[in-house]
Chains A and B, each alone.
Chain A
Amino acid sequence: MSGAAGAATPARRRLPRTLVIGLVVVGVIALLAALGPWIAPHDPDAFAMRMRLRPPSLAHPFGTDEFGRDVLSRVLAGAHYSLLMGFGATAISLAIGVPLGLLAALHRGWVEEVVMRGVDLMISLPPVLLGLLILAVTEPGLFKTILAVGLVYVPIMTRLARAVALELLAEDFVEAARARGEGAWHILAREIMPNAWPPLIVETALRITFAILLGSALSFLGLGPQPPASEWGLMIAESRPFIAEAPWIGLAPGLCLCLLLITVNVVGEGLRDLLDPRLRGRGHG
C-alpha cells in the first residue's frame, strides 16, 4: 500500500555504539597479536627454572608457569593463533561454502541434490567430532587445524548461501532481469550478490566466534599447534596439573580468550543489528 514518501532507510543509520566499541577492541587485540613477539617483556620460550610458578607481580604481571616462562609474554605471543584460527577458518568456509551454495541454488536439479546430500552428511557429524576425525590421522599443527575447522563449517555456509540465493531468486526484480534475457552471471553478480551480502556478512561474523571456540578446543585436546607454541587453548590444557598451586597459568590465557570471544561476538551482533535486524535472536552452533 502506498503511503507518505520516505520510509525509514535501513542501510543509512548511524553505526551502533556497541559495534564501534567492539571493532576498536578487536582492532587492539589484533594489533597486540601482530606486534606480540616484539612488545613482549620477556622471551616467551625462555626457561627460568628458578622463577617457576611465581604469582603475578610487577616483573611478571601474569605470573610464571612451571618452566619459569613469563605468562604475559606467552599470552601475547600466542594471541595470533586464535585470531588466525578464527579468521582463517571462516575465510575458508566462506570461500568454499558460498560458491557451493550459490551453485546449488542456481542449478537446481542433480547438482543441487549432490551438494545438499553432501552437506547433510557432513552436518550429521557434530563439529568437534568432524574436526577430531580430520586431525586424528595427521600431524597436528596450526594450518591443519585452521583447515579442519574451515571444512567443518563449510556445510553451514553452503546452506545459508543457498537459502539466501533461493529467496532472492524468487523476487520480482530478479524475474524482471530474466524477462530482459539476462544471463545467469549477470543475475548473480548484479541482482543477487548485492542483496545477499548483508546476511552473509552477519553469519560470517558470528561464525568467527565459533571458529575460535572450536579451534581452541581442538588445541586444548592436543590437536592444534604443538608445544612449545603458546596457543591459548593449549596453555590452558598444560596448566591443568598446576591448577591448585598456580591458577594464573590457566586463568590468564582463558580470560584473554573470553575477552576476544565476547568482543568478536559483540561485533557480530552489532553488524547484524546494522544490516539485517530481522535475524535477531537467531544463532547456532
Chain B
Amino acid sequence: MAEAPPLLDVRGLSLGYATARGTVRALDGVTLAIPRGAAMGLVGESGSGKSSVVLALLGLLGKEAALAADRLDFAGEDLRVAAPRLRGLRIGTVFQDPAAALNPALRIGLQVAEPLVQHRGLSPRAAHGRAVELLAEMGIPRAAAVAQAYPHQLSGGMKQRAVIATALACEPELLLLDEPTTALDVTVEAQILDLLERLRAERGVSMLLVSHNLGIVDRLCDGLTVLYAGRVVESGATEALLATPRHPYTRGLLAALPRADRGRIGRLAPIPGSLPDLTLPDPGCNFRPRCPFAAAGCEAPQALHPVDARHLACHRAEMLHDAAWPAPDAAVADRAPLGGTLLEVADLARSFRLGRGLFRRQAEVRAVDGVSFSLRRGEVLGLVGESGCGKSTLGRLVLRLIAADRGSIRFDGASVPAMPPDGFRRRAQIVFQNPDTSLNPRQTVDVALRRPLERFGLAHGAAATREVERLLDLVRLTPAYRPRYPHQMSGGEKQRIGIARALASRPDFLVCDEAVSALDVSVQAAVLNLLEDLRDTLGVAYLFISHDIGVVSHIADRIAVMYRGAIVEEGPAAAVLAPPYHPYTGALLSAVPVVGARGRAAARTRLKGDVSSAPTEGGCRFAHRCPAERGTVCRTQAPPVQQAGPGHAIACHIPVAELARAPAALAVAE
C-alpha cells in the first residue's frame, strides 16, 4: 500500500441542514481517502448525500449547513480553512449539468480563461490563448471559434468538455466530478468518459467521481466508496468490490441492476422499503429495516472497520461471506404465448417547426420520419434511442395524442382515425416518465383511479370503489392509499399509481414512455418487476420507450433502435444485441458503461460529433456520424432495409455479411 499520505484525507465528515421538519443529517461520519494519482468513486442513490460531499470539500455549503469533521485535509492543509484559496487552483470541479454550470451571458473562452487570470496572473490575452489550447485538448473541433461562442450555441457534450477544460485550466491535483455525464446522451457520455480516462493517464490528476452509475465508476475508478443515507457502508478496490460485494446494501444494489449484458435473466431483485428519515438518525445500522440479513446486534452502532482489503460497516459481513442475496420472487404467472397482431403502424411521420428566431429561417425538425412497425398481443417492443431521436413523439403519435403529418395506424384490424373513438382510447393507454408531474396534484388517488372507470362507463359508485382497490392491489399498494394526495407519496409510489391509472380501463396496449427512468435503481427494479408481472397476468402489449438499453434489454421481446426520426434496426431482442449490428446500434451498445467490463475498453466503437449536427438531405441520416461510413453512397442515397435474420431488419448500405463480422459489443450471458 502507498506510504505517502493521501492527497485527500477525510475522516468523520458530518453535515446537518436545519429545515422546517428538523435537522437533516445529510452526512454522518463519512470517511474516505484518495491517494495521489488515484481515482475514487463515490456511489449512492438520491438522498445518499453524495453531492453534499463535493460542496463540503469546496467550502461552498450554505449558511444553514452545519459542518463537522475530524479531518478534512488536502495535501496536508485543512480544507475548512484553505478551500477558498485552493478552489480552481489545486482543486477543479465539474458539476452535473453543463448547461446550468456555464454562465449564459459570457463567452466560453472567457469562462475557461478566468481561473488562469485569477490564479496564474496571466494577462487576459495570454489566458485566452491558453484557453483555446485547452479546448482543443479536450477534443473540441475549431476551438478558436468555440471560444468566441456562447453556451447556448454548443451541444451538451461540447459544453461539458468546456467545463472540464475550465476545471483543468490551472492543472489542479484533484478533480471533483459530480455526476458529470448524467445529463448527457449515452454515446456522448462515452466520449466524455474516454476523455476523462485519457486526461487521467496524461496528467496523473487525482479524481473524486460522484455518481449513481456503477458502470461509469467501474470504468474510471481505482477505488470505490458506497454511501447509504449519509453513511459509508463499504469501500475498497473497485474491481474486487463490484465482483464480490460484501455489504448487504452493495449486494442489493448490484442485484437490482438491469444489465444489457445479462439479457433477459427474468427478474430483478429490488431492495424493499425506502430511505430512512434523515431527521431521525438511526443509532445502529441505518440499512437495518431493508436488510434481508438483519439480525440481533444490528441495532448497535456499526463502525467502519477493515476487512481484508476493504472497509465495511457491517458486523455480519464476514459471516455472510458467501450468502447469496435473496433470489427475486418468481414470476407470478407463466407467460401466455403471444397473440395475433394488435397494432400496425405504417409510414408515420411528424415534423415540427421551430419558433421564429430573429432570422427569417424557420427550421423544420423531422421528429418522426416514416416509421412503420407492428406489435402482437402481449408482446413488448422496446424502443431505444437517444435524445432527439423522436421516440417520445412516436409514442404519442401512436396514441393519437399528437396529430400525424402522414401515415396510418391499425388497431386490432380497424383503422384508427385522427380523432379516435372511445373504444380505442379505452384499450390504449400511456404511462409517463416523471412521477411528479403525471398526477393531478389536487386529486386524491381515489379520484384519479375512479375517473377512467366513470369515463368509460365501466363502473360507478361502490362497484368503482371495489375496482379501485383491485387496481391498487394490482400495483402492490394497499387500500390505505385511496385518500392520499400526490405530495404525500414517494416517487415509486406515484409511478405505481400512474400505472394503475393506465390499467384502470383494462387496456390491451400500453405506451411506457421512460416509465422507470426517473426512479432510483432499487425502486426501478420493483417497478420493472411489476410491469413484467402485469404483462404476464393481463396479457398487455407494451411499447416500451427508453434511452437505457439495459432496462430495455431486460423487458423487451423485440427491440427497435431509433435515430433522428427513423428506425435503423429492428428485431428480436437477442438478435439486436448481437452482431450483425447497425453501426449506430453497435456504437450504442459499446457506449453503455457496464459493470465488470473493464477489459472491453479496446473493442469500443465511437461516434463522431453529436446528435445535433445537421445531416445532409437525401442520404442516410446517420452517415455524418457513422464510423463505418462508405462515402458518397451513404451521403446521397437512403439506405436499403436488409434482412439480417428472421424478423431482424437493418437499414444500412453495408452488406449484412460484413456487419456480422463486427466484434460483439457485449458478451451476452445466457
CB-defined contacts of B482 to chain A, threshold 8 Å: none
Contact indicator A194/B488 (Cβ below 8 Å): no
Q: How far is the CA of A10 from the CA of B490 in the complex (A)?
A: 16
With A172-B432, A176-B430, A181-B425 known as contacts, the answer to whether A1 contacts B399 (CB < 8 A) is no
Instruction: Give A8 to B22 CA distance when docked, in angstroms.
Output: 12
Q: A180-B425, A181-B425, A194-B442 are in contact. Are A9 and B519 (CB under 8 A)?
A: no
> B residues 255-292 with Cβ under 8 Å of A?
274-278
Chain A 117-148, CB-CB to B under 8 Å as 1, else 0, gives 00000000000000000000000000000000
> What total of chain A residues lie within 8 Å of the partner, measured CB to CB?
24
Given A2-B520, A179-B401, also A9-B46 (CB < 8 A): no
B455, A181: Cβ atoms under 8 Å? yes
A173 touches B274 (CB 8 A): no
Contacts of B523 in A (CB 8 A): 2
Interface residues of B in 491-522 (CB under 8 A from A): 491-493, 498, 501-502, 505, 518-520
Closest B residue, CB atoms, query A195: B442
User: When the two chains form their complex, are residues B20 and A8 in contact, meaning their CB atoms are under 8 A apart?
Assistant: yes
Contact with B along A1-35 (1 / 0, CB 8 A): 11111111110000000000000000000000000
Report if B21 contacts A (CB, 8 A). Answer: yes
Cβ of B451 within 8 Å of any chain A Cβ, yes or no, is yes
Do the beta carbons of A172 and B492 come within 8 Å of each other? no
The answer to whether B422 and A179 touch across the interface, beta carbons within 8 angstroms, is no
A276 contacts partner chain B, Cβ-Cβ < 8 Å: no
| Residue pair B278, A4 in contact (C-beta under 8 Å) | yes
Choice from B442, B451, B490, B493 contacting A180 with Cβ under 8 Å? B451
**Contact assessment for B401 and A178 in the assembled complex, using a CB-CB cutoff below 8 Å:** yes
B487-A10 in contact (CB<8A): yes
Q: Does B437 contact A (CB under 8 A)?
A: yes
Interface residues of B in 411-464 (CB under 8 A from A): 420, 422, 425, 428-430, 432-435, 437-443, 451-452, 455-456
B518 contact from A1, A10, A191, Cβ within 8 A: A1
Interface assignment of B243: CB less than 8 Å from any CB of chain A: no
**Cβ of A2 and Cβ of B425 under 8 Å apart?**
no
For A175, the chain B residues whose CB sits under 8 A away are 396, 401, 430, 432
B277's partner among A4, A172, A173, A178 (CB-CB below 8 A) is A4
Does residue B572 face the partner (Cβ distance < 8 Å to A)?
A: no
A27–B391 CA distance with the chains assembled, in angstroms: 56
Q: What is the 8 Å Cβ interface bit string for chain A, positions 158-198, against chain B (1 contact, 0 not)?
A: 00000000000001110110111110000000110011000
Report yes or no: B487 in contact with A7, Cβ–Cβ below 8 A.
Answer: yes
- Report the count of interface residues on B (CB-CB < 8 A): 50
Contacts of B46 in A (CB 8 A): 1-3
Measured CB to CB, the closest approach of chain A to B275, in angstroms, equals 5
Question: In the assembled complex, how far is the CB of residue A207 from the closest CB belonging to chain B, in whole angstroms?
Answer: 24
Minimum CB–CB distance from A35 to chain B (whole Å) comes to 39
Assembly CA distance A190 to B441 (angstroms): 11
CB atoms of A179 and B399 under 8 A apart: yes
**Which residues of A have CB within 8 Å of B435?**
2
Q: Using CB atoms, name the residue of chain B closest to A1.
A: B46
Interface of B is mostly: loop
Do the beta carbons of A8 and B21 come within 8 Å of each other? yes
Residues in A neighbouring B66, C-beta threshold 8 A: none
B215 within 8 A of A: no
How many angstroms from the CA of A175 to the CA of B428 in the assembled complex?
A: 13
**Residue contact A4 to B491, C-beta cutoff 8 Å:** no
Report if A5-B437 is in contact (Cβ < 8 Å); known contacts: A176-B430, A179-B425, A195-B442. Answer: no
Known: A2-B520, A8-B20. A181 touches B422 (CB 8 A): yes
Listed residue (B46, B401, B451) with the most chain A CB atoms within 10 angstroms of its CB: B451
Shortest distance in angstroms between A108's beta carbon and chain B's nearest beta carbon?
13
- Expressed in whole angstroms, the Cα–Cα distance for A6 and B440 within the complex equals 17
A173 to B432: give the CA distance in the assembly, Å. 9
B47 on the A face (CB < 8 A): yes
Look across to chain A and name the residue whose beta carbon is closest to the beta carbon of B495: A2
A4–B275 contact, CB under 8 A?
yes
B489 within 8 A of partner (CB): yes
Alpha-carbon gap, A222 to B487, bound state (A): 53
Residues of A within 8 A of B451 (CB): 180
The docked-state distance in angstroms from the alpha carbon of A252 to that of B599 is 86
Report yes or no: A173 in contact with B491, Cβ–Cβ below 8 A. Answer: no
Instruction: State whether A179 and B430 are in contact (beta carbons under 8 Å apart), knowing that A2-B46, A173-B440 are contacts in the complex.
Output: yes
Bound CA–CA A180/B456 (angstroms): 8
Q: Which residue in A3, A179, A191 is a CB contact (below 8 Å) of B440?
A: A191
Q: Are B276 and A2 in contact (CB under 8 A)?
A: no
Could you tell me if A195 and B274 are in contact, using CB atoms closer than 8 angstroms?
Answer: no
Annotate B6-49 by CB proximity to A: 1 below 8 A, 0 otherwise: 00000000000000110000000000000000000000011100
Contacts of B20 in A (CB 8 A): 8
Tell me the nearest residue of chain B to A173, going by C-beta: B440
Contact A180 B440, beta carbon cutoff 8 Å: no
CA distance A1 to B278 in the complex (A): 16
Q: Name the distance in Å between B491's Cβ and chain A's nearest Cβ.
A: 3
CA of A27 to CA of B46 in the docked complex: distance in angstroms?
48
Q: Which residue of A172, A180, A190 contacts B434 across the interface (Cβ within 8 Å)?
A: A172
Residue of B nearest to A7 (CB): B487
Q: CA A181 – CA B455 in complex, angstroms?
A: 9
Closest to A6 in B: B488
> Can you name 25 A-B residue pairings with CB atoms under 8 Å?
A2-B435, A2-B491, A2-B520, A3-B491, A4-B274, A4-B275, A4-B277, A5-B489, A5-B490, A7-B487, A8-B21, A8-B487, A171-B437, A172-B438, A175-B430, A175-B432, A176-B430, A176-B432, A178-B401, A179-B399, A180-B425, A181-B420, A181-B422, A194-B442, A195-B440
Name 11 extra pairs, CB < 8 A, besides A2-B519, A172-B438: A1-B46, A3-B491, A4-B277, A5-B493, A8-B21, A172-B432, A173-B438, A179-B429, A179-B430, A180-B505, A181-B420
- Please list the residues of chain B having a beta carbon within 8 angstroms of any beta carbon in chain A: 20-21, 45-47, 274-278, 396, 399, 401, 420, 422, 425, 428-430, 432-435, 437-443, 451-452, 455-456, 485, 487-493, 498, 501-502, 505, 518-520, 523
A interface residues, Cβ below 8 angstroms from B: 1-10, 171-173, 175-176, 178-182, 190-191, 194-195
